Every structure is written in structure tokens, then in C-alpha cells.
Amino acid sequence: MWTDRQPAYHNRLHIERVPAQTIALLVDYGVPPAALGVDRLFEQRYLQWSGTGPVCLNGAASANVSRPGLERALFGLAESCGVKFCIGAVPYAAIADPARLLFDATGRAGVTAARRWRPANPVVSRTFQFTASPAPHHATLALAAGSEGYAYRLGNRHGLCLGVVGGRDLIRGQWPEIRERIVRFAPWIVSGLPGADGQAGRAGACSLQWADAGPRAILIGDAAIARDALSSQGLAMGLGAALHAVSKAVIGSTPGPQRNGPVQRAEHARRVLAMISAAAFGSQPLWKEYGGFLQKAAMKLA
Ligand SMILES: Cc1cc2nc3c(=O)[nH]c(=O)nc-3n(C[C@H](O)[C@H](O)[C@H](O)COP(=O)(O)OP(=O)(O)OC[C@H]3O[C@@H](n4cnc5c(N)ncnc54)[C@H](O)[C@@H]3O)c2cc1C
């Protein structure tokens, strides 16, 4: 297996939310929840979206996992099954070799894809990490919409992650400036977070995109479809797609039916569009343009 980086090469904390079923699947494969910073499940979330807030909503149980822990655990699992890793970019010769079946899990880059579909101006996120162990009500997923974009917060035993998503006017600058901007629309979401020492973490596109596969590779995870960050679905769907594709190719059977990709994508686009339209930031040019892309994605069923 080629990968251009070791797991958690920078070791910076990054926290993402997965359904409780994903934790059960990982436990089945011998990954202990504690290695992912998980010590509880959450059935609630705090939301301030189209009005003032926050309101507390109930939903399906989920857990907040640390990405460095998850990546280390999955690498360890693969190594223990005899997978050999080559550290470096996938060589062109491997991509072009007609005798080779490739599983392309290179994320949004989708290096083997024949064609990628994404907004001309993708919506971008930045995250900030805080390593002190948060109180339970701070660890619960919280989302708040402002006039330029939104902020979210979630935590686990390892710390707390604060993300901002939207245009330059919201996400530019250092943590203290960004904190000030968030305070203007949702002071509660940053209350208790230090004003000074947010450590910058992952940043990049977080809007919907997808790709058409090339002739020999099977696209997996974000390489096939990178969902909008609003859905918190990328990890669970990517792990499911990986199990499905590898089982089919290697042992000829599949662990259950795979849902129709274009239909799934259209449903996802419609849900995200509805959320954006309900938020104050939905009328900003960046978001309106993205809304137009989502509208086309919602219609495109093949
Ligand atoms: C702001 C934000 C918040 C999110 N929150 C959540 C959440 O709460 N829950 C959730 O489930 N999902 C969330 N997601 C989505 C989630 O992060 C992705 O769905 C997930 O990371 C996809 O995993 P992946 O392995 O497909 O791709 P990636 O994690 O992008 O991994 C791709 C890997 O391929 C490597 N690579 C790239 N090019 C090459 C090459 N040429 N050769 C070799 N290696 C290469 C990269 O270095 C990388 O390690 C969020 C995303 C964003 C942006």
C-alpha cells in the first residue's frame, strides 16, 4: 500500500464525529474506543441555526473520535494482517499498470479519477485544537450559524476541536481574531475556550465533491464522494465503502448491499442545500454560488 504520509505525522489533535455503529465495527476489529479518545456516546447536540439559540436536540447515538488515534489503529490493524506500506506518492507506473487493480483512497485528490466534480470556489474550513479535557457539555457536538458561515465544536477525552467554515471574512487570521468573530454571533460556543492558545489544526475544502473513476481503480472514501462537513458522515461511509469494495474484489462476496451512489449523493446535496438555505449566511455570494452547485448535484442522478 502506498501512502504519502505516516499516520498522524504531525500528531496534532483532530476530532470527528461518527455514529455509535462505527465504534462497534472498530471494536469488532480489535480497536479499543479508548485509543480513539472515546469514553462516552452522545445522543444530544446543541444547535443555533435559523434563529437565536442554542437549542438542545436529541438524535442517534454518536461518538467523537481522535483522527490520529484512528489512523494509528487502522495502520496497526493492516500491518498485523501483513499489509506492507511504501511511504511516498503512488507512482505513475502503478496507476498506469493494466495488470493491477487499485483501490484509490487518496481523499479529495482522487489521483486516479477520470473526472472530478466540485464547486469552482470550494467552501473552506479551519480547525483549532485545545488539549485540556473538556467538560461533558463542551464535548457534545455544537453548531452555530453566523452571517458569513458557521462554527462547530466537539470534544473527547483527548481535548476539544473548534471548527469554522465559510468565507475569508470569517476564517482568516489567528485564533484570537477568529474567536472574536464567533463571539459576535455565538458567544456560548467559545465560552470556556482560551482566548490565546488555540492550536491551528486541519484546514481545507469541506464542500461536496465527487469523482468518476478511471478505468482500473476503485474509488473509496472522499476520493469517490467527499461529503459536505455539515453531515459528519465521511468516516462511516468511507469505512463502509472500503469494506464493501475490498470484500468484493478479494473474496468475491459483499457485506450487504451498497446503496446507489448517485441517489445517495443527490439526497445528500438536497439535505445540505436545505440547511444552507435556512441559515443567515446562505444569502452570501460564496454560499449562493455553492447552493447553485448543490442544486445541480441534487438533480444529477448518473
Ligand atoms: C471540517 C471538516 C469536518 C469534518 N468532520 C467530520 C466528522 O465529524 N465526521 C466524519 O465522519 N467526517 C468528517 N469529515 C470528513 C472526513 O474528514 C473525511 O470524510 C475523511 O477524512 C475521508 O477519509 P479518506 O481516507 O477517504 O481521505 P483522507 O482522510 O483525505 O485521506 C487521504 C490520504 O491519501 C493520501 N494521499 C493523497 N494523495 C496521495 C498520493 N498521490 N499518493 C499517496 N497517498 C496520497 C493523503 O496524504 C491522505 O493520507 C470532516 C471533514 C472536514 C473538512
Q: What is the H or E stretch that residue 44 is in?
A: strand 42-48
CA distance 292 to 272: 12
CA distance 167 to 77: 39
Same domain flag for 143 and 13: yes
Same domain flag for 84 and 175: yes
Same domain flag for 159 and 269: no
Residue type, 269: A
Question: Atom of ligand 1 at shortest distance to CA of 226?
Answer: 19
Residue type, 40: R
Residue 107 CB–ligand 1 contact under 6 Å:
yes
Same domain flag for 197 and 266: no
* Residue 156 placed within a domain: yes
CA separation (Å) from 268 to 122, 125, 176, 231?
A: 16, 19, 34, 8
DSSP H helices, the chain, are: 20-28, 67-80, 92-96, 136-139, 168-171, 175-185, 187-190, 234-251, 261-278, 285-299
Same domain flag for 133 and 270: no
The last residue of one of the domains, among 165, 185, 207, is: 207
* Residue 134 placed within a domain: yes
Domain range for 54: 2-88+119-207
Residue 17 CB–ligand 1 contact under 6 Å:
yes
- Write down the residue that cell numbers 466534480 correspond to: 117
Q: In this predicted model, what pLDDT tens digit does every residue of 191-204 receive, in sequence order?
A: 888 767 788 888 99
Q: Within 13 A of 38's CA, how many CA atoms are on the CB side?
A: 27
* Residue 133 placed within a domain: yes
Same domain flag for 270 and 130: no
Residues 31 and 78 sit within 8 Å (Cβ to Cβ): no
Residues 3 and 85 sit within 8 Å (Cβ to Cβ): yes
* Residue 203 placed within a domain: yes
CA distance 266 to 55: 28
CA distance 262 to 225: 10
| Confidence (pLDDT) at 270 | 96
Question: Of the candidates 62, 74, 66, which has an alpha carbon nearest to the alpha carbon of residue 24?
Answer: 62
* Residue 112 placed within a domain: no
Same domain flag for 179 and 275: no
Number of domains in the chain: 2
Question: Cell for 84?
Answer: 506492507
* Residue 224 placed within a domain: no
CA distance 238 to 110: 13
Same domain flag for 138 and 28: yes
CATH of the domain at 172: 3.50.50.60
The last residue of one of the domains, among 184, 207, 230, is: 207
Same domain flag for 144 and 293: no
Residue whose CB lies within 8 A of the most ligand 1 atoms, among 14, 16, 112, for a mutation test: 16
* Residue 174 placed within a domain: yes
Same domain flag for 190 and 282: no
Going by CA atoms, what residue is nearest to atom 42 of ligand 1?
89
Residues of the chain short of pLDDT 70, as ranges, are 8-11, 195, 254-259, 301-302
Residue 234 CB–ligand 1 contact under 6 Å:
yes
Same domain flag for 24 and 163: yes
Same domain flag for 44 and 142: yes
Exposure string of 166-194, with b = 16+ CB inside 10 Å and e = fewer, is bbeebbeeebeebbebbeebbeebbeebe
| Confidence (pLDDT) at 256 | 64
Going by CA atoms, what residue is nearest to atom 16 of ligand 1?
234
* Residue 167 placed within a domain: yes
Q: At what angle do helices 261-278 and 285-299 cross, to 10 degrees?
A: 150
Q: In this predicted model, what pLDDT tens digit does every residue of 124-163 receive, in sequence order?
A: 999 999 987 777 778 999 999 999 999 999 999 999 999 9
Does residue 277 sit in helix, strand or coil?
A: helix
Q: What is the H or E stretch that residue 45 is in?
A: strand 42-48
